[in-house]
Structure 1
Amino acid sequence: MAQYQVYQFPAGNKYLQQKWDKAFYDLHRYNVKTAKPTINITTPETYGHLALKLRKQKMDQDRNTQIQRENNLLLEKIAHIMQTTGTVDNLNFYEKKSLNVQQRQMELLHISHENQLMQQRLSQCKSHYNVKSWHQDWIKTMGLMNSISRYPRRAHTKVLYFNYHFPS
């Protein structure tokens, strides 16, 4: 209380001044304790029409009604099938017929006969390639490559190329 001293009314008595100061201080503390906030921090008001969502309830009810109607239709169809034979009466016994089946079969036979003849001719032919002449050409090529290259091949690789013998 010593820190809070307000001299609003000049007084000639110091005890009277202390009494007034205490009264003003107590009034000040009461006002501080009972002060109301200037910002509204209460929860917002909830409105009934937002909580109920009548439109969504109506849409759900319509959807449930439609599902119930479809279920009833299916139930009626199943009951009808159970009461009757339940067979499908739209069977079609028509066989597909092609107009050129014989022509395609004849063409297939002709092609297979030509393929057999071609296979016989190919199996009777002999090869025109001479592997020995290929090898001799390769040896010449390697010799030319060794003569013009900066770093010629080693001697043992030459021996392998030149000492190969072909069966006669």
Structure 2
Amino acid sequence: MHRSYQPLKPVTNRYLQQRWEQNNFDDHRRKVSSALPVVDNKGMRTPAHVQLKLKKLQLQDERLSIIDRDNRLLASRLADIVCSKGVVDHRNQYHLRSLNADRRREELLLVSRQNQAIYQRITSRQSEYRRQLWLDDWEKAERRRDDISRYPRGLAEKQRSNRKVKFAAVEGSERSTSCSTTDTDRTDRQTLEPLK
């Protein structure tokens, strides 16, 4: 009894009520499966100019025409090579030439003229240094220093030049050196002693 159909409301015939409710349910499921959305969510249609892309087709045609022209030129050159007797034209008869050589030459001439003008100005200018005045000042300063100093300059050099050193002869394994002083050394020593 528990497996039999149990309607929600009291009915006279449960079997008929089950069939009617099943038919209603099937109609409902069919309507639900065939129902269309109320809101259009398909999105925008793609424009025709985006789908077709005429510019891309034009560029592709131009590229293909360039390739075709290059192929024809290459084929004609190959045909010329096949028809010739093996002579190769590999020498270029033109010389490389810069497009801005004239402008660079003008700039070089301008710079050389400016350098020449600077050189002329430098060489024609008189020196502002007075070398003779410097030498005269130096001689005055030396004379004053010699006048002020106790011992005159240059005396030590004179003494060193007058000294003579003699070495004794070497006897056996002994080596002895002796230094003898001359009369001029004695006189120099007397002049170097301080005055009292």
Q: Shorter-chain TM-score: which interval?
A: 0.3 to 0.5
Larger radius of gyration: 2
Higher relative contact order (Cα pairs below 8 Å, separated by 6+ residues): 1
